[in-house]
């Protein structure tokens, strides 16, 4: 499926594991930007918005590279965005159980291949910036995306590929080391 | 005759080599790492994992073509110098490496990642107190090796002081590190494992293990690597056959009552480059 921002109820149809593309305006935000938005408000219209966990390298108003950062750092900082109407989170590595619940009936988590910063940048243009005082990595960049290749990591129905894989890995680990006493995570 | 460590031409050459080593490491993946990724892509059975590996290979080719960094997390600069016997190790040498990091930050460009650890204020040029990390070893000639280290994988690295009576637990500790990490460090990863020495030495060895070529594992390393891969975490934690491209180990003698083990996790972008320092006169 090809998605375009602002997003609506079409995201509710997606299932974990689906491959999609996303086009239109997206907003980068990392740890510091989330904290600032909680304090001062969201500087863009959150209704149907897509928030991209990314700290790009920008030079002379152009994106040099812009791959996803580890989303789990934003686990405890995400609820207010979804409450205000954000429909998609884009990042890498998946998110915690509280975010899976917060996405239920509202939005999706989309995984972009980690480290693919040149590939991602080749499909993005800078359209503006908020909170530039936070520094290049932590500022909120307004980006126009052109068909970003994504995988639905967490859907709006509690489906979570990352958690499925984690559970399988945990079971395999227990089996592999069943005769070795010690801490099992 | 001993060289003058304050020679401006020499210091400029060190800064220039540092800058070039960082630039090359950021933009061009070493051939052994690229070959391992290509093999993982060819052998992967799961479609989602294969498409992730295809994106990675496309990205590596694009970065090289456009001469831009492979990843936006251009890391923190970890620098290894080999210093020949006729060059005294003076503070100026460290200063020259810092200058090279500043140059690379401006021209590659690198993302300014270095902040004060408590105030979190950014220095803007990737230098700071004790940063770049500079490690010096004796060698035949003066070379600069850059290992830019990203945070996603560094953050899931671990050190453990295991029971000395149970060296078989090393394997469990290594596999457990990857189990806890899941998709966070951008697998398929390379694991650098430091075994023995002291608490701090084990961590340094683990990072140095990431400088070793990944296409020649010994039987012990192969065994650790296949144990990690049996977890099935796969590229980006979406499931798949390749979770680790390689596991490399470096050892040191340790106290009879200790068994330090450190696992330094490295994302698929196992970036490293070595540049000889050449002084032009």
Name the strand (E) or helix (H) holding B17. helix B8-27
Strand order in the sheet with B273-276: B133-138, B76-83, B143-149, B273-276
Q: Which position has the higher pLDDT, B7 or A64?
A: B7
The CA radius of gyration of chain B, in Å to the nearest whole number, is 19
Residue A185 has pLDDT above 80, yes or no: no
User: Is B247 found in the same domain as B172?
Assistant: yes
| CB within 8 Å: B231 and A169 | yes
Report pLDDT digits (tens) over B224-278.
999 999 999 999 999 999 999 999 999 999 999 999 999 999 999 999 999 999 8
What distances in angstroms separate CA B54 from CA A65, A149, B34, B185, one per listed residue?
18, 11, 12, 18
Q: Which residue has the tokens 């099992």?
A: A184
User: Is B188 found in the same domain as B107?
Assistant: no
Which tokens in the block code for residue A164? Answer: 């499925």
User: Is B202 found in the same domain as B144?
Assistant: no
Q: Which of A96-100, A125-129, B47-51 has the lowest mean pLDDT?
A: B47-51
Residue A57 contacts B, CB cutoff 8 Å: yes
* Domain span including residue B133: 8-28+70-148
* Residue B246 burial class via C-beta count within 10 angstroms: exposed 0-12, middle 13-18, buried 19 and up: buried
| CB within 8 Å: A94 and B237 | yes
User: Is B162 found in the same domain as B224?
Assistant: yes
* Number of separate domains in chain B: 2
How do strand A140-154 and strand A108-111 relate by DSSP bridges? antiparallel
User: Is B101 found in the same domain as B56?
Assistant: no
Report pLDDT digits (tens) over A38-77.
999 999 999 999 999 998 888 888 898 888 998 999 999 9
User: Is B111 found in the same domain as B13?
Assistant: yes
- CATH code of the domain occupying A2-160: 3.20.130.10
Active site amino acids of A: 34
Query: What is the value of ipTM here, to two decimals?
Result: 0.91
Among the partner-chain residues A64, A94, A121, the one whose CB lies closest to the CB of B183 is A94
d(CA A24, CA A3): 9
Task: List Cβ neighbours of B277 (8 Å cut-off, separation of 6 or more).
Answer: B10, B13, B14, B17, B141, B142, B143, B144
Residue B281 has pLDDT above 90, yes or no: no
Boundary-marking domain end, from B119, B148, B177 = B148
Question: Does residue B246 form part of some domain?
Answer: yes
| CB within 8 Å: B175 and A65 | no
Residue B208 has pLDDT above 50, yes or no: yes
User: Is B163 found in the same domain as B102?
Assistant: no
Residue A21 contacts B, CB cutoff 8 Å: no
d(CA A114, CA B150): 12
Boundary-marking domain end, from B148, B182, B216 = B148
Boundary-marking domain end, from B125, B148, B171 = B148
Residue A31 has pLDDT above 80, yes or no: yes
Q: Which position has the higher pLDDT, B2 or B235?
A: B235
Closest chain A CA to residue B236: A93
Residue A184 has pLDDT above 60, yes or no: no
């Amino acid at each position: 499926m090809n998605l375009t921002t602002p997003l609506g109820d079409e995201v509710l149809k997606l299932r974990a594991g689906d491959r999609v593309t996303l086009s239109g305006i997206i907003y980068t935000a990392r740890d510091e930007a989330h904290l600032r938005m909680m304090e001062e408000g969201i500087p863009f219209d959150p209704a149907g918005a897509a928030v991209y966990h990314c700290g790009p390298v920008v030079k002379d108003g152009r994106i040099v590279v812009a791959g996803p950062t580890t989303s789990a750092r934003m686990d405890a900082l995400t609820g207010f965005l979804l409450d205000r109407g954000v429909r998609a989170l884009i990042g890498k590595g998946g998110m915690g159980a509280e975010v899976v619940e917060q996405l239920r009936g509202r939005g999706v988590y989309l995984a972009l291949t980690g480290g693919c910063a040149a590939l991602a940048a080749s499909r993005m243009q800078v359209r503006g910036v908020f909170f530039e005082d936070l520094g290049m990595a932590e500022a909120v960049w307004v980006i126009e995306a052109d068909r970003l290749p994504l995988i639905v990591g967490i859907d709006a129905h509690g489906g979570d590929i990352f958690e499925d894989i984690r559970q399988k890995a945990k079971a395999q680990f227990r089996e592999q080391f069943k005769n070795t006493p010690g801490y099992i995570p | 005759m001993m060289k003058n460590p304050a020679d401006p031409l020499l210091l400029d050459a060190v800064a220039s080599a540092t800058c070039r080593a960082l630039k090359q490491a950021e933009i061009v993946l070493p051939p052994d790492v690229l070959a391992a990724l290509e093999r993982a892509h060819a052998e992967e059975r799961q479609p989602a994992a294969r498409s992730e590996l295809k994106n990675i290979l496309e990205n590596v080719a694009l970065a090289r073509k456009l001469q831009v960094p492979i990843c936006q997390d251009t890391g923190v600069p970890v620098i290894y110098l080999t210093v020949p016997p006729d060059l005294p190790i003076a503070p100026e040498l460290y200063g020259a490496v810092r200058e090279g990091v500043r140059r690379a930050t401006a021209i590659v460009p690198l993302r300014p990642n270095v902040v004060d650890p408590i105030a979190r204020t950014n220095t803007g040029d990737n230098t700071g107190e004790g940063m770049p990390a500079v490690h010096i070893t004796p060698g035949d000639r003066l070379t600069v090796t850059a290992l830019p280290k990203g945070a996603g994988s560094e953050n899931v690295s671990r050190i453990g002081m295991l029971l000395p009576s149970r060296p078989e637990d090393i394997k469990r500790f290594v596999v457990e590190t990857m189990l806890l990490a899941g998709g966070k460090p951008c697998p398929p990863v390379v694991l650098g494992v430091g075994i023995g020495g002291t608490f701090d030495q084990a961590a340094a060895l683990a990072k140095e293990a990431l400088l070793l070529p990944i296409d020649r594992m010994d039987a012990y390393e192969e065994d650790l690597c296949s144990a990690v891969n049996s977890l099935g975490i796969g590229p980006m934690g979406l499931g798949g056959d390749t979770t680790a491209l390689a596991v490399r180990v470096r050892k040191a003698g340790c106290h009879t009552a200790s068994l330090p083990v450190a696992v330094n996790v490295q994302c698929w972008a196992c970036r490293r480059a070595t540049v000889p320092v050449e002084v032009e006169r």
